[in-house]
Structure 1
Amino acid sequence: MKRIALTGLALAAVVAAGAGGYWAGIRGLPVAGLREWLGVEATLAAAEPTATGAVIYYQDPDGKPAYAATPRQTEDGRAFRAVRASEDVSFEDKPPATVATSPAGPRRVLYYRNPMGLPDTSPTPKKDSMGMDYIPVHEGEDDGGSVVRVSLGKLQRTGVRSELAARRVVGRLVRVPGMVQLDERRISVVATRSDAFVNEVASVTTGDRVTKGQVLLRLYSPDIAAAGAQFLSDLNSGGRDSAVGGARQRLENLGLPPEAIAEIERTRKVPLSMTWRAPRDGVVLERNVVDGMKAAPGDVLFRLADISTIWVLADVPEFDLGAVRLGAPVTIRVRSLPGRTFEGRVSLIYPQVGEATRATRVRIEIANPGGVLLPNMYAEVEIGTGDTAPVIAVPDSAVIDTGTRQVVIIDRGEGRFEPREVKIGLRGEGFTEIREGIAEGDRVVVAANFLIDAESNLKAALRGLTPAEAQP
């Protein structure tokens, strides 16, 4: 622009002098001024550096944002300006043109490396096939280890961010499906131990709730009647205690309730129909008896279940099984009761893994107030995992997991980073436990760490590809 402005001033002077007075105007200038006027453009042209390297692209001659990969002309016929490698814009942080100095003097150049990152170095300055200068590596810039140096400008552009490794409680929720089931210990069956004929069944049906001692049915059993008569005979004759005790034992063996035996002993009479009562509070799950039917020994007449406490059986995948502990807190939700949760704890981890599902069944015992949870309901189970003791942990984004190893990037300050292989533990709530590799207070990179890891891997790969005799 300076060159164009000075040329314009010269043309203006010629026009002002006129075609006939040009030499007169020149003669009117002092000799020193004429020399200064003639040397301005030459001085400015000498001050501008000469472009070197291969032609990268072509730009509009007026500096407009118009570019071309091949030679091109403007609409008025002017050729685009060729931009060479030394003139191209670079986003890398370049050192100043002056020689870097330190209190001890200028730093010594160790070698020159390929500008494109290829495994090629040179002890003297040189250019690559595209005309780009090799980059000098000064003393102290190459430590030969695993530390990666990144310029401060590049750190700001890539968004590298780091945090301190600290102690915290790491836990997570294992979310698995479950099924509501009856507590096996709270199921009872009403059955006879001898042949019997049902005289009358109470007005109780499947699904009804019954209380302990409630009358379920009346039946006649010849075996019970005979045993009752023998028991009554021993009582009336004042027999020995052993004889009375034997008759009582026979009645108990036939399943006669203690209150029925006490009734025979009190009234000194064997009733024709024996009363059978509910052995517990609960819900009638099955009713398999009707008036007048004959019941064989062992036939299930009623099946009752207490649902005040119920089980939830959840299938935990094999890979999550190691995080589940006995007594772990559990939160349960069912679809039929939106917004309502039930709390419980893991009471048993079954000792086998399903061959088809590769999951292990876990049992949770929970209270069932009002009996709102019914058998075979689908449940959504959240099992809490982790220890209450704090451990060294870092954000999940700080861990680079390749599948075979886990790496974190240690921020050593001043643009220096060191990859560190670690052993991880539990993950949860956005944090990962670190069991080996780093200590509390170490600063780890949590953002853009993949870029630093890539540079570290590239550095190691280039060292491995470079022959021993070519390494600096």
Structure 2
Amino acid sequence: MKRSTIIVSVLLVAVIAAGGGYWMGRGGGPRPAPTEGASAAAAPAPAKQTYTCSMHPQVRLDQPGDCPICEMPLIPAASATAAAAGEAPTLQLSEHALAMASVETVAVEPRPLARELRAVGRIEYNESSLATITPRVDGYAERLFVNFTGVEIRKGDHLAEVYSPELLVAQQELLIAVQAGNAGEALVNVAKTRLRLLGLTDEQIARLVDRKQTTDRVTLYSPISGTVIEKSIVEKAAFKAGDALYRIANLDSVWVYLEVYEYDLPWVRYGQRVRVTAEAVPGRTFEGMVTFVQPIVNEQSRTIRIPVHIENKDHALKPGMFVTASIDASLTAEGRAAPTGVEGKYTCPMHPQVLTETDGACPICEMPLEQIPGDPVKVTEDTSVHSADAHKHEAAPAEMPSLATKYFCPMKCEGEKTYDQPGRCPVCKMKLKEVPAKAAASGGAGGVLAVPVAAVLDSGTRRIVYVEKARGLFEPRELTLGPRAGAYYPVLSGVSAGERVVTRGNFLIDSQFQVTGHPSLFYPGGLHATMGHDHGQATSDAKPAQPGATPTESPTPAPTGGHKH
């Protein structure tokens, strides 16, 4: 009995001791109220980690697992928050991420933009040199001097002898008036005028008066020199007034109608020099000038016809020949063809191939010449200077001291690639040279502000580039571009001179913007704003925009193998 009493006493003491120790560990009494400073110093609760699919960024889950759409493993993703109102979203990449993505950037700078525009065309008649031989009376073709097409004729050559009762009566009226003497002088002038209007020349009328004898056959003469391209009359055939007997074209000059696609139209301008070659005339190049740009687009071929005037004194170029043409064109800052040197000269609105240095009358139609607007010297100087205001973005480019000095290979072994540190080119081992500093306030005297084609992401409806604001910090910019010039686009608006754009790795950067729900190439308003529904158990964890918030690279990089598109 005593033994059991002792055991119970020992257990009771142990329990009491354990309870006392627990009470002493809790502080032994009531705790003081927390101070205001201690409450402020308490850290906020960490944000909930979300997970997304690299192939379907609209999927947002709060637990790891597989994508409900493609069953790929989900990866951690930052919350899809946007920048403050009026600010563009940015992305910060670490040095490791930059190396893994092989990101390369180049500076936006002015450069001369030019290209050789090549087009195909066809030789056709100079429309202003065509003439039709048309009788003004009814009659019969008694004899044809030109009885087949292709004959070369000169102005004043005889074409045909015709018999016309109306012409015979008009001749008799003239002779009767002449016989009347001074009393019939007025009638003589009237009769001569009538014969002249019926198609007789002054020489034919004078011969009729001298001989005082009518002739039943009257000869028709050519009004111009050229080639007979159509003949619609045969001997002994009757014709009516107004019938086209012959059609004549002067081939001393011809037109080349070039077929230029509508997207190449900004490169074409009146007065440009054109080089033309034809397979039928090997080893010879013909020079011409753009005289007109037709205002109609061919709906089937989507091309515009450009007439080019070419002198063809030896008739080497034949209508119907196919030719190849090239135009050396350059661009202005507005994305249009540069002045051609004809500005300030005088031309005829009806005959644009006429160019003179002084004012006067057109030698073809005698219309007053008009001065071509523009000053080539002034325009050239203006187009070589690009104000920063003309390419100003909503926010001024940030200062980037770390990017002030870049180095490049003088042999351009890797294109426009630049290096952060001096050294030697990894390809040719030449010593790298320092990239000269560019003033952001001026485009300089190098040409047109341009970005490389590799820097532009094009969705078909919008074009964007990614600008490096600081080392590893990127911002999307939507651009307005001019026509492509080789490996560059002229910039009409969106970036300024001196800013650096991504030329390699830009698609990966855009993908990261898309994964985090920020505005990207195909989702200008952000992915989650564009998607109006969820897939499977996907939920959106988008939080209200925080000023200065920027998307960051994912803690765990997306898997690179096993699923490729």
Q: Which residue of 1 aligns with 2:488?
A: 431
- Within a 5 Å distance, the mapping from 1:144-155 to structure 2 comes to 146-155=89-98
Q: Which residue of 1 aligns with 2:441?
A: none
Gaps of 5+ in 2: 1-42, 55-62, 67-74, 331-335, 339-382, 384-446, 519-525, 529-539, 550-565
Indicate conservation of the 8 Å contact 2:266/2:337, yes or no: no
TM norm structure 1: 0.62
* Pairwise CA distance, 1:314: 3.8
User: Does residue 468 of the first structure (1) align with residue 412 of the second (2)?
Assistant: no
1:194 counterpart letter in structure 2:
V
Indicate conservation of the 8 Å contact 1:165/1:392, yes or no: yes
Hey, what's the Cα distance between the residues in 2 that align with 1:230 and 1:351? Answer: 52
- List per-residue Cα deviations over 1:98-136 (Å, max 9, x = no partner): xxxxxxxxxx999799798779xxxxxxx9889xxx99x
Q: Which residue of 1 aligns with 2:478?
A: 421
Indicate conservation of the 8 Å contact 1:257/1:276, yes or no: no
* Pairwise CA distance, 1:153: 4.5
Gaps of 5+ in 1: 1-107, 120-126
Q: Which residue of 1 aligns with 2:245?
A: 301
Work out which of the residue numbers 214, 217, 231 in structure 1 matches 2:174.
231
Hey, what's the Cα distance between the residues in 1 that align with 2:282 and 2:516? Answer: 56
- Within a 5 Å distance, the mapping from 1:3-402 to structure 2 comes to 146-172=89-115, 175-202=118-145, 205-239=148-182, 240-321=184-265, 324-382=268-326, 384=329, 386-388=336-338, 389=383, 390-402=447-459
Decide whether aligned partners of structure 1 residues 215 and 322 sit closer, same or farther in structure 2, where only a CA change above 3 A counts.
Answer: same
1:219 counterpart letter in structure 2:
V
TM norm structure 2: 0.53
Work out which of the residue numbers 396, 403, 409 in structure 1 matches 2:466.
409
Q: Which residue of 2 aligns with 1:453?
A: 510
* Pairwise CA distance, 1:282: 0.8
Hey, what's the Cα distance between the residues in 2 that align with 1:427 and 1:333? Answer: 25
- List per-residue Cα deviations over 1:34-75 (Å, max 9, x = no partner): xxxxxxxxxxxxxxxxxxxxxxxxxxxxxxxxxxxxxxxxxx
> Higher strand fraction: Structure 1 or Structure 2?
1
> Higher helix fraction: Structure 1 or Structure 2?
1
Indicate conservation of the 8 Å contact 2:147/2:234, yes or no: no
Decide whether aligned partners of structure 1 residues 403 and 295 sit closer, same or farther in structure 2, where only a CA change above 3 A counts.
Answer: closer
Q: Which residue of 1 aligns with 2:380?
A: none
- List per-residue Cα deviations over 1:160-202 (Å, max 9, x = no partner): 3222212234355555543332222211222322233333322
1:270 counterpart letter in structure 2:
T
- List per-residue Cα deviations over 1:329-369 (Å, max 9, x = no partner): 44444343345444434433334444444544443333224
Query: How many residue pairs end up in the alignment?
Result: 350
Indicate conservation of the 8 Å contact 1:170/1:387, yes or no: no
Deviates more, 1:209-218 or 1:152-161: 152-161
| Secondary structure, counterpart of 2:482 in structure 1 | strand
Q: What is the root-mean-square deviation of aligned Cα atoms in Å?
A: 4.0
Hey, what's the Cα distance between the residues in 2 that align with 1:319 and 1:145? Answer: 31
Hey, what's the Cα distance between the residues in 2 that align with 1:341 and 1:452? Answer: 49
1:213 counterpart letter in structure 2:
G
1:387 counterpart letter in structure 2:
A
Indicate conservation of the 8 Å contact 2:277/2:325, yes or no: yes
Q: Which residue of 2 aligns with 1:104?
A: none
Decide whether aligned partners of structure 1 residues 339 and 398 sit closer, same or farther in structure 2, where only a CA change above 3 A counts.
Answer: farther
1:367 counterpart letter in structure 2:
E
Decide whether aligned partners of structure 1 residues 294 and 451 sit closer, same or farther in structure 2, where only a CA change above 3 A counts.
Answer: same
Indicate conservation of the 8 Å contact 1:202/1:217, yes or no: yes
| Secondary structure, counterpart of 1:349 in structure 2 | coil
Decide whether aligned partners of structure 1 residues 128 and 204 sit closer, same or farther in structure 2, where only a CA change above 3 A counts.
Answer: closer
Decide whether aligned partners of structure 1 residues 463 and 387 sit closer, same or farther in structure 2, where only a CA change above 3 A counts.
Answer: closer
Hey, what's the Cα distance between the residues in 1 that align with 2:234 and 2:542? Answer: 96
| Secondary structure, counterpart of 1:247 in structure 2 | helix
| Secondary structure, counterpart of 1:284 in structure 2 | strand
- List per-residue Cα deviations over 1:271-299 (Å, max 9, x = no partner): 44322222111111123344444333233
2:137 counterpart letter in structure 1:
S
Hey, what's the Cα distance between the residues in 2 that align with 1:394 and 1:223? Answer: 76
Decide whether aligned partners of structure 1 residues 460 and 340 sit closer, same or farther in structure 2, where only a CA change above 3 A counts.
Answer: farther
Hey, what's the Cα distance between the residues in 2 that align with 1:261 and 1:226? Answer: 14
Hey, what's the Cα distance between the residues in 1 that align with 2:65 and 2:293? Answer: 68
2:456 counterpart letter in structure 1:
V
Indicate conservation of the 8 Å contact 1:395/1:430, yes or no: yes
Hey, what's the Cα distance between the residues in 1 that align with 2:493 and 2:45? Answer: 37
